[in-house]
Structure 1
Amino acid sequence: MNEKIYCKSGGCSAKLGAKKLSHILEKIDSYKDSHVLVGFDSRDDAAVYQIDENHAFVSTLDFFPPMVEDPYLYGQIAATNALSDIYAMNGTPKTALNIVCFPENEDLNILGKIIEGGNSKLVEAKCALVGGHSIRDDSIKYGLSVTGLVNPIDVKKNNGTQCGDVLILTKPLGVGLTLNALRMDDCSKSMQERVFKSMTTLNKYACDILKKYDVHALTDVTGFGLLVHLNEMLDEKNSAVIYKDSIPYFDDCQKYVEEFYLSGAAQTNRNSVEGKIYFDCDFFTEEILFDPQTSGGLLASVSKEDLEKLEIDFKENNLELYVVGEVIEKNEYNVYVR
């Protein structure tokens, strides 16, 4: 059995650009239902539908081509990424459906490994795999549709930033650059282990801690990179400062930029916020902020008064937490990197 899968360009770097998606979706006249608390109009991470006074569904789906050759690891990363959208809404995942595209003549043992990997993260999340759908395709794609629950008053939208908030990030950046280096056979074993561990760490654990604090806006950083996701969070209501010397990234990323292991997805991200970002930093910092993440961390806009306790709480639970910026009054640019 061949236990490797071919990957040319995968993960969240395979996303369509934010500007193209907005252009399409703004023309869609969807049915209006008063129970829909969050739909696609706010460009949030998942949809929220209220059932009764205390319960709402959180719905999302996510799938992509392979970004690693190990099918089990690919399944783990895809499931971790899909579950993240539920956590980004402050929800609890309950059920999941597999989404599978698979070549008819490919070894089915590979598909078995992918689904096993995905299920291992669902089990960790205490989320039941209840079915799925598969089609024949020229190339492999895998992901999940996940449904969760949340109390309507506890929903965390991505666009509630408040002036004076601090911006915190729960995973380092540089996944896209690292995957590019891996495809070029220029990524050390230690770097692979570090990045793969991050990509398969559920955002559940960070979300569980954030539930205890005054979080005004929450999202996960994935294929659009930190700056595009942050721009969506600000929603033209506020601006933000990103501290250029406080951005966390995986160790070898600077080398990868010097070697020009750059992706078209990062350039697409850059184009989608053209004219909205002010840079007072070097080229590497720009690239790391536009780098497409797969299964990235949570980006939260939290009350400055909670920061000290938050940092202690994350440290006591052996979780990463990085203060990357602050929310300021609306200014000429949406984001200032300085």
Structure 2
Amino acid sequence: MTASTPVDSKTIQLTQFAHGGGCGCKIAPGLLREILARAPQGLVPPELLVGTETADDAAIYRLNDQQALVATTDFFTPIVDDPYDFGRIAATNALSDIYAMGGTPIMALALVGMPIAKLPPEVIGRVLEGGAAVCREAGIPIAGGHSIDVLEPIYGLVGLGLVHPERVRRNADAEAGDVLVLGKPLGVGVLSAALKKGVLGAEGYAEMLRHTTQLNRVGIALAQLGGVHAMTDVTGFGLAGHLLEVCRGSGLSARVDLAQVPLIASAVEFAQQGMATGASARNWAAYGGEVLWPAGAPAWQRTLLTDPQTSGGLLVSCSADALDAVLQAFRSAGFDSAAVVGAMQAQEAGQGSRLVCT
């Protein structure tokens, strides 16, 4: 196949055009911190309630006493071969950042980068159709966007939403003694690796799609619970990486009970066979020094704790008194795997933020 020869739209495999896929193609967390440390600090008006300071999920700009604008963007290369499914997953993932701040989406803009010489218009159109379907489900329009001709397929959204300033849920407001609840099971990255190797069956693919296209709009209800102190969504840096962001922002440490972390059953089987993404190893290299790992714990558990999640679940830090209401909110919204995975705790004297796994 030459650069000027479009592929057959009926046999296309989108992942063949990408070096990585989904949130697994994020820049490694260690390198990202180094890059951002060199970026000059821009204007910070008093209306900017949340900016870049704690690596939060979205920016928050106060409009008035009753409304704040939630602004975010997310895009990536294909994690699956089907164009329509790729569009759905990417759009679901992008809107998740709004829900993670407690916001309600109001509209989106499409970000489209495609190798025009290699992909026929009907394939590109199916990607956009998938994204539009998710936005319809979320009750918002795709009101515009931008497109470019690039070497790898890229799709995502700019997401805009609204939230009451007092209901903003940052990733930096966790409190010592808070309980940690994870809304979706881990393992999407492992399943994507199995897909690329051609060993993921129809059942596994359906399960992967079910989790990655489930909108995290339960975040709206969670933000209305007084005992919910902090929220984030688990994506490319894995549960360990995003929980460490909560720890650093809040000036705390955390404990995770490995036996309680919800996992996709088929992903466990693949991980036990040694299946993993390259991003999982990069994640561990970046923040493994901040994790106390139990002696004798199997390697597959670490694979899943660092597994890059695409459109992963919400991670909630809440008071013990609010736990029943948090779990009920998750259950009512169809998140049957939501589970308590650990707790926030004070830092030990002389130690920075750490994640203690037991």
Counterpart among 125, 138, 141 of residue 128 in structure 1: 141
Which whole-Å deviations, capped at 9, do the CAs of 1:229-285 have from their partners, x for residues lacking one?
000001161111101111111112233223322222111111221321101132111
Q: Distance in 1 between matches of 2:251 and 2:145?
A: 40
The answer as to whether partners of 2:78 and 2:86 remain within 8 angstroms in 1 is yes
Counterpart among 3, 8, 12 of residue 23 in structure 2: 12
Check if 1:237 corresponds to 2:251: yes
Task: Report SS of the residue matched to 1:291.
Answer: coil
Residue in 2 that maps onto 1:45: 57
* Paired AA for residue 147 in structure 2: S
The answer as to whether partners of 1:177 and 1:263 remain within 8 angstroms in 2 is yes
Give unpaired runs (5+ residues) of structure 2.
1-7
Deviates more, 1:310-319 or 1:53-62: 310-319
Q: 1:312 to 1:45 in 2, by over 3 A?
A: closer
* Paired AA for residue 247 in structure 1: V
Q: Distance in 1 between matches of 2:170 and 2:327?
A: 22
Deviates more, 1:312-321 or 1:296-305: 312-321
CA RMSD of aligned residues (A): 1.5
Residue in 2 that maps onto 1:2: 9
How many residue pairs match? The answer is 338
Deviates more, 1:135-144 or 1:75-84: 135-144
Give percent identity, aligned residues only: 36
The alpha carbon displacement at 1:294 in A equals: 0.3
Give unpaired runs (5+ residues) of structure 1.
none
The alpha carbon displacement at 1:135 in A equals: 0.6
The answer as to whether partners of 1:170 and 1:206 remain within 8 angstroms in 2 is no
Task: Report SS of the residue matched to 1:275.
Answer: helix
Task: Report SS of the residue matched to 1:336.
Answer: strand
Check if 1:109 corresponds to 2:122: yes
The alpha carbon displacement at 1:207 in A equals: 3.8
Q: 1:322 to 1:158 in 2, by over 3 A?
A: same
Residue in 2 that maps onto 1:253: 267
Deviates more, 1:183-192 or 1:225-234: 183-192
The alpha carbon displacement at 1:328 in A equals: 1.3
TM-score normalized with structure 1 length: 0.96
TM-score normalized with structure 2 length: 0.91
The alpha carbon displacement at 1:206 in A equals: 4.8
The alpha carbon displacement at 1:310 in A equals: 2.8
Give the alignment of 1:131-142 within 5 angstroms: 131-142=144-155
The alpha carbon displacement at 1:188 in A equals: 2.1
The answer as to whether partners of 1:36 and 1:50 remain within 8 angstroms in 2 is yes
Residue in 2 that maps onto 1:271: 285
Task: Report SS of the residue matched to 2:110.
Answer: strand
Residue in 2 that maps onto 1:323: 340
Which whole-Å deviations, capped at 9, do the CAs of 1:114-145 have from their partners, x for residues lacking one?
01100111011111110010011112111111
The answer as to whether partners of 1:206 and 1:319 remain within 8 angstroms in 2 is no
Task: Report SS of the residue matched to 2:265.
Answer: coil
Which whole-Å deviations, capped at 9, do the CAs of 1:265-311 have from their partners, x for residues lacking one?
11111122132110113211111100000000000101111112333
Q: Distance in 2 between matches of 1:316 and 1:125?
A: 17
Residue in 2 that maps onto 1:297: 313
Q: Distance in 1 between matches of 2:275 and 2:246?
A: 28
